[in-house]
Structure 1
Amino acid sequence: MVLSGLDPSGGAGIQADIQAITSLGGHPLPVLTCLTVQDTGNVYGAEVVNPDLIRQQLQCLAKDVPIHAIKTGALGNAAVVDVLVEFLNSRSDLPLIVDPVIKAAGGGDLADDALVQAMKQKLFPRAEMITPNGIELAQLGTSDDPDQAAQNLLDGGCVSVLATGGHGNGVHIINTLYNHSPEPMHWEVERVGLNEYHGTGCTLAAAIATGRASGLSPRAAISQAQNYVHRTLLHALTVGKGQRVPDRGIMWER
């Protein structure tokens, strides 16, 4: 199940989730949280879906379809967080992967202070993993030092933090998994091109959730997801005048 926003450019948001999950062999259950005014360069506005409608959708789906994992993206507002947490109260063993979307790559806001605080206080402690990029990690963890920011989030109740390194400019992207083990775990992935892409964070988190839904361990799901995202970037599409878009239409060789 995916709770995320609609990106009319088709580069990020719930479309990215649907494509990634399908490509990896899963069946997505998409629940829209917000509608955005967005292109391949930035977000210019957003309107939240009625939280009660989201509640009804979750309840309806849960009565009909087995749910094996949940992934979240842009959530719209704090009331949507409350609805999701309420839904999770009787599903404590369900893997929850949270992509803590705060801003678009172009700088447009996708979360106000109330939503950020609701995620930190109510949703993060329920998540198996959160997947912030470098900018999100610094803001959420209130430190420009990645190790300290991750530790602050763990101290605040997070089970694990996968700090993604796509916003850097080195030859390799370094993704780091922080949990309550003595040392963090690092993955190095070859960087494709010099520019950022539209929707890579959505794609990675959705792919991790799909791996978990299919029975992979968290670390195996991360490894598979990183390999998948790398492949989508090798075939990235030039959709508009902004950032290029991962080609999530490729079928993953399972």
Structure 2
Amino acid sequence: MLSGLDPSGGAGIQADIQAITALGAHPLPVITCLTVQDTRNVYNATAVDARLIHEQLECLAADTPFQAIKTGALGNAEIVDTLLDFLADKPDIPLIVDPVIKAAGGGDLADQVLITRMAEALFARADLITPNGIELAMLGANEDLASAAGNLLSAGCQAVLATGGHGTGDHIENTLYRPGQPPQSWQIRRVGGEYHGTGCTLAASIAAGRAAGLSQPEAIAQAQRFVSMAIGQAMAVGKGQPVPDRNGRLPS
């Protein structure tokens, strides 16, 4: 996975490592950006040199097979191009893109150049993108989320999972949109408010399922069960959002 480093341990690369490990896969963590962050917000972020990321990806690929790739905060547009170059001759690797734009506290994690490059090139390569409601409305240029998802599909996305963690109501509903197919939804009970790192956890869990050979809907269903378990035993780490406890394993 390619994600940012969250020093609070709640989101980013740490969430990915914990979720992927708990679901029985082995993570290959590549850090894309360093952040100044706590459980309340992101205050600063600096991208890692794209050349170093290129070297890491090529080094890993020469040693071990990649069964899936998950991205979180990508740092800058150059890193997007580095990943696309790496994947150019690897069309069968599922790519799960969590299009991280802003932290829950409002801090920026992507500038307009990066957002545009993701939308124009990365999304079409992705097996699935997993925007939350705010990101989906922005990326799909429509406050109606079904219409926004439709716009993204028309622009070349293969599949959009609209995640409902930032919504309201008794249940969190995640809805999968795919071209030419009716939407498919999953629900889990909403417990309390928002949690730090649930979007990362969900996308990483989906990637773990895809790496294990699950279909897209099967991987989403498994990921939802894992997220529900993790937020059900969340930890109060700091003064902001609780952090999902990703150390448990789903019952077989």
**What is the TM-score when the length of structure 1 is the normalising length?**
0.98
Unmatched tracts of structure 2, length 5 or more: none
Alignment of 1:37-186 (within 5 A): 37-186=36-185
Q: How far, CA to CA, are the matches of 1:58 and 1:17 in structure 2?
A: 17
Q: Which residue of 1 aligns with 2:240?
A: 242
**Structure 1 residue 174: deviation in Å?**
1.1
RMSD of the alignment, in Å?
A: 0.6
Q: Which amino acid aligns with 2:59?
A: C
Q: Distance in 1 between matches of 2:180 and 2:214?
A: 20
After superposition, where does 1:12-23 map in structure 2 within 5 Å? 12-23=11-22
Opposite residue 32 of structure 2, the aligned amino acid is T
Which residue in 1 is equivalent to 2:200?
202
Residue 49 of structure 2 aligns to which amino acid in structure 1? Answer: N
Output one character per residue of 1:156-177: Cα deviation in whole Å (capped at 9) or x when no partner: 1100000001111100111110
**Displacement after TM superposition at 1:249 (Å):** 1.1
Structure 1 unaligned regions, length at least 5: none
Identical-pair percentage: 65
| Alignment-mate amino acid for residue 243 of structure 1 | Q
Aligned counterparts of 1:53 and 1:253: Cα–Cα separation in 2 = 39
Shift of 1:181: 2.8
Task: Give me the whole-angstrom Cα distance separating, in 2, the residues matched to 1:10 and 1:252.
Answer: 21
Matching residue's letter, 1:221: A
Paired with 1:130 and 1:57, the residues of 2 have a C-alpha distance of: 24
Letter in 1 for 2:119: K
What's the CA shift for 1:190?
A: 1.0
Task: Name the SS for the 1:91 alignment partner.
Answer: coil
Segments of 4+ moved more than 2 angstroms: 251-254
Q: Quick one: which amino acid aligns to residue 161 of structure 2?
A: L
Tell me how far apart the structure 1 counterparts of residues 32 and 4 of structure 2 sit (CA, whole Å). Answer: 5
Find the residue that maps to 2:62 and give its secondary structure.
helix
CA shift for structure 1 position 61: 0.3
The whole-number CA distance in structure 2 between the counterparts of 1:57 and 1:168 is 37
Counterpart CA distance in 2 for 1:8 and 1:251 is: 24
Alpha-carbon distance, 1:60 to partner: 0.3
**C-alpha distance in 2, partners of 1:85/1:109?**
23
Deviation at residue 186 of structure 1 after TM alignment: 1.1
Superposed CA deviations along residues 24-60 of structure 1, whole A, max 9, x for unmatched, are: 0010000000000000000000011000000000000
**Where do residues 215-226 of structure 1 align in structure 2 (5 Å cutoff)?**
215-226=213-224
- For these two proteins, the number of residue pairs brought into alignment is 252
TM-score (norm 2): 0.99
User: Secondary structure in 2 aligned to 1:64?
Assistant: coil
Query: How far, CA to CA, are the matches of 2:151 and 2:238 in structure 1?
Result: 38
